[in-house]
Amino acid sequence: MSEDIIKEIQHRMQEIETTKAELWETGTYDPMMEGEYWDCHIVLKQMQEGEDADVSELQHKKQEGMIAAQQQIHKVAEKE
C-alpha cells in the first residue's frame, strides 16, 4: 500500500515540475502548486522517517518557493 502511495506522490511531483517548467517564464505558474510540491516532499519524508521527522527545512523551502512563484507572477505582469 505505501509503495503505491509513494509512487503516486512521486508521479505528482514530476507533473508539478513539468508544469512549473512550462509556466514559470510566462508568470502563470500557480504558487499553490509550488506549495503542493513541497507538501509532497514533506509527506514522503514523514512516510520514510516517521511522523516525527524534522520537516522544518522543507516547510521553509515551501514558503520560499510559494513567495518566489508569486514574485514571478508580479514580475511578468509588470513587463506587460
Over range 51-72, report the average pLDDT: 97
- Is pLDDT above 80 for 1? no
Q: State pTM to two decimals.
A: 0.92
pLDDT in tens, 28-55: 999 999 999 999 999 999 999 999 999 9
Q: What is the DSSP string of 2-70?
A: HHHHHHHHHHHHHHHHHHHHHHGGGT---HHHHHHHHHHHHHHHHHHH-TT---HHHHHHHHHHHHHHH
Task: Give me the pLDDT at residue 80, please.
Answer: 79
